[in-house]
Amino acid sequence: MLGALIIVFREVIEAGLIVGIVLAVTKGIHGRGRWITAGVAGGIAGAALLAIFADALANALAGVGQEIFNASVLGLAVCMLAWHNIWMARHGREMAAELRDAGLAVKNGSRSLAALAIVVGVAVLREGSEIVLFLYGLVISGGSSALGLLAGSALGLVLGCAVSALTFFGLVTIPPKHLFRVTTTLITFLAAGLAAQSVLFLQQAGLITQLQATAWDSSAILSDTSLFGRLLHTLIGYSDQPSQMQVLVYSVTLAAIFTLTKVLEPGKPCAATVAHKAA
Amino acid sequence: MRMTTRDRLKTVSCLLAAVLAIAPASAWAETLQMSLQNHKFHPAEVAVPANQPLTIEITNLDATPAEFESKTLRVEKVVAAHAKISVQIRPLPPGRYRFFDDYNEDTTEGFLVVK
């Protein structure tokens, strides 16, 4: 039962934190519930499929299918998060001003919502497939009773959701004026963390062989398997023994998204806004 | 100078080609065979030479899925029931590296001793 609790809790937190952030980011955008639900539902369906075809996936592409898949899914999430940030930097102000105009807000918001729904979907997909595989293993091995398994998983799910909800409520207590800046920063770090994780899979597959040495070891100070370490791992990509390439990719992603968000942020109503209004 | 879309595509495809060209060139010197049976790694402890890349192949003889994972080796890969996977390990400095089945971490672990 404890095993089920721990694993489910761990995976739910990882996906839940991302859902929590996305919910905070999209606060006030019409139709977000539908998109995010679609993301979660799609992720769960995908997770079940992924678990069923785990073997085929692992054997695909000369045995590195699993790594390529994981790296691609993470890469997709990074792109979507980056795109959301940049898009929001360009249109956030305009959206806030016109939010009362429901029709336009839906139209504007749903572009970015689609990107975020994909992010939610892939987060649930990755963590969910771990849960499915793990529970499947427990069921077949018959080591623990079905009731204990169910109880442990349910408790893990509840606790994981609670931690994610705390993140969400913590975020939405931030005054709306600052919320945008905070979530933009969070998303940038989140994206950089995911990019660094995708490097790990490419290195494990032997597709990236450069800069594989460990950059530092801070496991004695803060292990990334501890609860707080795991939270930081999900939120900002903290790793206690990253490879040099991971650190490099992390930094480059961080710098790239920050720069693009800054550069593309209109200082004053720009041509794009005017053109958009005219249309 | 402005890059056209075509130029960008060219740059991207060149980079991709470079990455793909590098990959097969890296020869993985040694392959280590390992199996999982009754939630135990066989062998549970292996000595390997330092500073050499290594391929580990794991065959899961159990009817349950496992996830071969190691923090220090930086690997994490699902091994379905009765399936076989392989992972590439970077050249390692000497030390004792722990690996485990993430789904049964308490009972299923092993060590790679790098000398």
| pLDDT digits 0-9 by tens, A26-70 | 877 777 888 899 999 999 999 999 888 888 888 888 888 889 999
Cβ contact (<8 Å) for A203 and B90?
A: yes
By percentage, how much of chain A surpasses pLDDT 90?
A: 33
Please indicate whether, in this complex, the C-beta atoms of A133 and B65 are within 8 angstroms of each other.
yes
* Residue A86, pLDDT above cutoff 80: yes
Q: How many Å lie between the alpha carbon of A176 and the closest alpha carbon of chain B?
A: 38
Binned at pLDDT 50, 70 and 90, residue B5 comes out as low
Tokens of A116: 């975020």
Q: What is the Cα–Cα distance from A161 to A181, expressed in whole angstroms?
A: 25
Confidence (pLDDT) at A267: 62
Report the predicted TM-score, pTM, of the whole model to 2 decimal places.
Answer: 0.81
Interface membership of B63 toward A (CB under 8 Å)? yes
Residue-wise pLDDT for B25-73, tens only, equals 444 468 999 999 999 999 999 999 999 999 999 999 998 899 999 989 9
pLDDT at A274: 45
pLDDT at A258: 92
Q: Measuring CA to CA, which residue among A199, A189, A192, A188 is closest to residue A243?
A: A199
Residues A172-180: what's their mean pLDDT?
79
CA distance B58 to chain A (A): 12
Residue B111 has what pLDDT?
96
Residue B8 is predicted with a pLDDT of 58
Mean pLDDT of all residues in A161-185 = 85
Q: Which of A164-168, A273-277, B31-35 has the highest mean pLDDT?
A: B31-35
Q: By the CB < 8 Å criterion, does B71 face chain A?
A: yes
Of the two residues A264 and A141, the one the predictor is more confident about is A264
Closest chain A CA to residue B51: A213
Which residues on B lie below 8 Å from A136 (Cβ)?
Answer: 64-65
Cβ atoms A43, A125 nearer than 8 A: yes
State the total domains in chain A.
1
Chosen from A66, A199, A238 to mutate, greatest number of chain B CBs within 10 A: A66
pLDDT of A104 > 60? The answer is no
Residue A114 pLDDT = 84
Number of H helices, E strands in chain A: 10, 0
Mean pLDDT score, A78-100: 75
Mutate to test the interface with A, among B31, B37, B77 (most CBs of A within 10 A): B77
Compute the distance between CA of residue A129 and CA of residue A70 in angstroms, rounded to an integer: 12
Chain A residues touching B55 at Cβ < 8 A: 206
Its domain, for residue A220, covers 2-278
Give mean pLDDT, residues B73-86.
91
> A240: part of which helix (H) or strand (E)?
none
* Yes or no, beta carbons of B88 and A204 under 8 Å apart: yes
Average pLDDT of chain A, as a whole number? 83
User: Chain A contact for B97, CB < 8 A?
Assistant: no
The reported pLDDT for the residue numbered B54 is 92
**DSSP run (H or E) holding A216:** none
Helix intervals (H) in A64-145: 65-98, 102-141
The answer to whether A244 and A228 are in contact (CB under 8 A) is no
Give the model's pLDDT for residue A278: 44
Nearest CB to B64; choose among A7, A130, A140: A140
Question: Interface pTM (ipTM) of the complex?
Answer: 0.79
| pLDDT in the model for residue A193 | 93
Interchain pair B71, A241: CB under 8 A? yes
For residue B18, the model assigns a pLDDT of: 52
The secondary structure of chain B in percent helix, strand, coil, rounded to multiples of 5, reads 20, 45, 35
Domains recognised in chain B with CATH numbers: 28-114 (2.60.40.420)
B contact test, residue of A14, A55, A244 with most B CBs within 10 A: A55
Nearest 10 degrees: CA dihedral of A10, A14, A15, A19? 130
